[in-house]
Amino acid sequence: MRVYVDGACFPNPGIGGWGVVAENGIELSGSEVDVTNNQMELRAIYEALKIIPSDRINVIFSDSQYSVHCITKWYSSWVKSPKVLKKKKNIEIISACHELYKTKNVNILWIPRDTHELNMRADELSKQSVKDKHFEINGFELETDFYESLRK
């Protein structure tokens, strides 16, 4: 299965959203408050890891190099040194992702932003989740140009 993920946050830190889009049509999204963009990128990967089957080859595509490297490269060395591990940001979600990652037949790969239609759909879902949560909390819609601020 191929799955595309993305996260968003406005402001950063602030209200965050994540989106997951699988090639089989599955779409998931959600939001949280008092989070960062990196946390939402990682949360999207975590949610994708939860839905992929364990009995076949899977690929998760993310436009966050930070998130991909945390799970696939850096965590294994960090965990060898509790002193180093203790200093790392987002370690709870990174650890949770890595634990699922180890149980799945999956590659997590970086792709440039907006290079695949399903990545762009995951981006839309994450941003819509931010908008929806903002409305739920504050009672008014974000300006439509808030999306542009997320691209910076």
At residue 94, the pLDDT reads: 97
At residue 148, the pLDDT reads: 62
Q: Are 40 and 17 in contact (CB under 8 A)?
A: yes
The pLDDT confidence band at residue 142, using thresholds 50, 70 and 90, is: confident
Q: Are 117 and 62 in contact (CB under 8 A)?
A: no
pLDDT, mean of residues 54-66: 97
Evaluate the CA torsion angle 32, 35, 36, 38 in order and state its sign.
negative
At residue 150, the pLDDT reads: 57
Which domains does the chain carry?
A: 2-150 (3.30.420.10)
pTM of the model: 0.93
93-104 confidence digits (pLDDT tens): 999 999 999 999
Report the mean per-residue pLDDT for the chain.
93
At residue 149, the pLDDT reads: 59
